[in-house]
Structure 1
Amino acid sequence: MMGRAVKPFLILQLRPETEASDDEYSAILRKGGLAADQTRRIRLDRDTLPDIDLLDYAGTIVGGGPGYVSDAPHDKTTTDARAEAACLSLMPQITAADLPFMGCCYGIGILAHHLGATVSKERYGEAVSAATCTVTPDGKRDPLLDGFPDQFDAFVGHKEAVQNLPADATHLLSGDVCPFQMIRYKSNVYATQFHPEADGAGFATRIRIYKDKGYFPPDEAAALTDMVKAADVTYAADILRNFVTRYR
């Protein structure tokens, strides 16, 4: 008897800088325990989202990016607006059918906005840092966080954030500055405010690439690089691996 075909994971990326995009993709493969031929990678910064059937995929993973869901339409670049529209076009099917989804950083804004929650720069932005995440009571019962300690660190760096928990969503991880570090909708739709794929070397690369993008004063880049290289964000990466393992 022939085995059942293994579905690939759909990887959607939004970073226009090729070095940053390639590094993020490599990190998703490495931390998720995936080979390139087990994924379909689409760079939404340069490619139009093709007509796809999400049922052909084991799950969808959305990476981070420079765009802001909360920006007014006239403040979005053409590239960011197209990428945002592409991601949002998939959310009705994902949430209605409860299809496996992991939104990383930018992805939590996409999910929350789709679900009717407020996403803005009013509160909860975080400087580039290793933020402490605290597992909520509901988080302790979630399979992606099984066996986790009560607290662990994860890399963050964002100006906008989810301002209120979306209706019918479950709050899994909280933070001191940003309360909504990880949420789940229904049973299989997840999003994190932090970057579960990022390790110290990868975040150091992003610090170098984005040092003039307003995330932090450029003269702090060296100190931030030292900080992220010394941080322990092992458990954050386990979330991505657990997601892939669960839905592979």
Structure 2
Amino acid sequence: MLNFLIAESEPPEARDRRRRSVGRSSGETYEALLERIAPGARTTRVTPADHGQDAVPPDGLDAYDAVFLTGSPLHLYDDTPECRRIITFMRSVFASGTPSFGSCAGLQVATVAAGGTVRSMGGRREAGFSRRIAPTDAGRGHPLLAGRPAAFDAPAIHTDEVASLPEEAVLLASNGVTTVQAAEIRSGPGIFWGVQYHPELSLFEVAAALRRQADDLIEHSLAQSDDDVEAHALLVEALHDEPGRRDLAWRLGLDDQVTDRGNRCREIGNFVEHLVLPTRSRRGRG
């Protein structure tokens, strides 16, 4: 039986807000997805950014086959207690040699923990979907992106990005907005695969994220009003309800890389198949 540890990077208030919005924290979203990708796997959620929480669970990181880091509104360039705690946790993950995966802020946490840097995107935004992500030469042959075409879209919403990858990292995918869309990061015995986008999100959750960040979208001229944001979110939500609606996909400029659930979460399935299971075998866990 696979044993997964899910590290919820978001602080308590963000978890509560997300639960009010979609009924799940980011960690609970990962938990539900992993139950589909690896039926029968055991999942444990921890909150290493929280005050008073042990960064490493009592059974130790070696007890887990993989660690997953969720998205978060934390800004990893801020020297706050929350950021320091989650970075310290990630360094422990690297030191343990346990394979790890992260999306959005999860990629940023791993970057900073291994010696890279993160920055604000300034006036740029990827809101709802990251468009025309293209694997690099290294990414085209990397198992993280196995099955992805030469260019694809993915759920995404973020205001920060990786500025510089650490040494021994490999850039796997980029687009015209954010250079580091996917990367492999190594530190000590640890290997991390991560993406700036959100393969774990359903379209329902994308619609909710747009609503939660409506003020920011208006401020950065991606929408003129709350009504504009709501109209766009309703289209995304309708496509969630009826993913076969070609008219909705056409209006949103999406194809089956986003509308098909298996394609949408491909990187997480690839991580389990191509890194977690072989590492588990080398560790003698069957």
TM-score normalised per structure 1:
0.81
Q: What is aligned with 2:133?
A: 133
Q: What is aligned with 1:65?
A: 72
Q: What is aligned with 1:222?
A: 230
> Taking structure 1 as reference, are residues 51 and 130 closer, same or farther at Cα in structure 2, changes over 3 Å only?
closer
What are the superposed Cα offsets for residues 157-200 of structure 1, whole Å, 9 maximum, x if unpaired? 21111112322101111111101001002383112111110121
| Paired residue total | 234
Cα contact 2:126–2:177 (8 A) shared by 1: no
What are the superposed Cα offsets for residues 46-95 of structure 1, whole Å, 9 maximum, x if unpaired? 57135431111111111111111123x3xx5xxxx33x333212222333
> Taking structure 1 as reference, are residues 134 and 126 closer, same or farther at Cα in structure 2, changes over 3 Å only?
same
Quick check: 236-245 or 118-127, which moved more?
118-127
Q: Which residue of 10, 27, 46 corresponds with 2:5? A: 10
- What letter is aligned with 2:269? R
Q: What is aligned with 2:102?
A: 103
> Taking structure 1 as reference, are residues 185 and 178 closer, same or farther at Cα in structure 2, changes over 3 Å only?
same
Cα contact 1:124–1:179 (8 A) shared by 2: no
- CA offset at residue 240 of structure 1? 1.1
- CA offset at residue 34 of structure 1? 4.3
- CA offset at residue 37 of structure 1? 6.2
Greater radius of gyration (CA): 2
Cα contact 2:71–2:106 (8 A) shared by 1: yes
Higher relative contact order structure (alpha carbons within 8 Å, sequence separation ≥ 6): 1
Cα contact 2:56–2:89 (8 A) shared by 1: no
Looking at structure 2, the residues matched to 102 and 216 of structure 1 have their Cα atoms a distance apart, in angstroms, of 32
Q: What is aligned with 2:118?
A: 119
Q: What is aligned with 2:265?
A: 237
- CA offset at residue 150 of structure 1? 1.1
Cα contact 1:29–1:36 (8 A) shared by 2: no
Q: What is aligned with 1:40?
A: 44
After superposing on structure 2, the runs of 4+ consecutive aligned residues of structure 1 that deviate more than 4 Å are: 34-37, 44-47, 122-125, 215-218
SS of residue matched to 1:163: strand
SS of residue matched to 2:157: strand
- What letter is aligned with 2:53? T
SS of residue matched to 2:164: coil
> Taking structure 1 as reference, are residues 211 and 123 closer, same or farther at Cα in structure 2, changes over 3 Å only?
closer
Q: What is aligned with 1:3?
A: none
Cα contact 2:119–2:162 (8 A) shared by 1: yes
- CA offset at residue 114 of structure 1? 1.7
> Taking structure 1 as reference, are residues 122 and 241 closer, same or farther at Cα in structure 2, changes over 3 Å only?
closer
Q: What is aligned with 1:148?
A: 148
Quick check: 57-66 or 183-192, which moved more?
183-192
1:190 aligns with 2:185: no
What are the superposed Cα offsets for residues 130-151 of structure 1, whole Å, 9 maximum, x if unpaired? 1121111111221222232111
> Taking structure 1 as reference, are residues 243 and 117 closer, same or farther at Cα in structure 2, changes over 3 Å only?
same
Q: What is aligned with 1:54?
A: 61
- What letter is aligned with 1:198? L
What are the superposed Cα offsets for residues 87-120 of structure 1, whole Å, 9 maximum, x if unpaired? 2122223334542111110111111112222211
Q: Which residue of 4, 24, 30 corresponds with 2:26? A: 24
- CA offset at residue 125 of structure 1? 4.4
Looking at structure 2, the residues matched to 198 and 118 of structure 1 have their Cα atoms a distance apart, in angstroms, of 25
Looking at structure 2, the residues matched to 137 and 122 of structure 1 have their Cα atoms a distance apart, in angstroms, of 25
Looking at structure 1, the residues matched to 27 and 39 of structure 2 have their Cα atoms a distance apart, in angstroms, of 11
Q: Unaligned regions of 5+ residues in structure 1, if any?
A: 1-5
Could you say what the CA RMSD is over the residues aligned between the two structures, in angstroms?
A: 2.8
Looking at structure 1, the residues matched to 122 and 2 of structure 2 have their Cα atoms a distance apart, in angstroms, of 39
Q: What is aligned with 2:284?
A: none
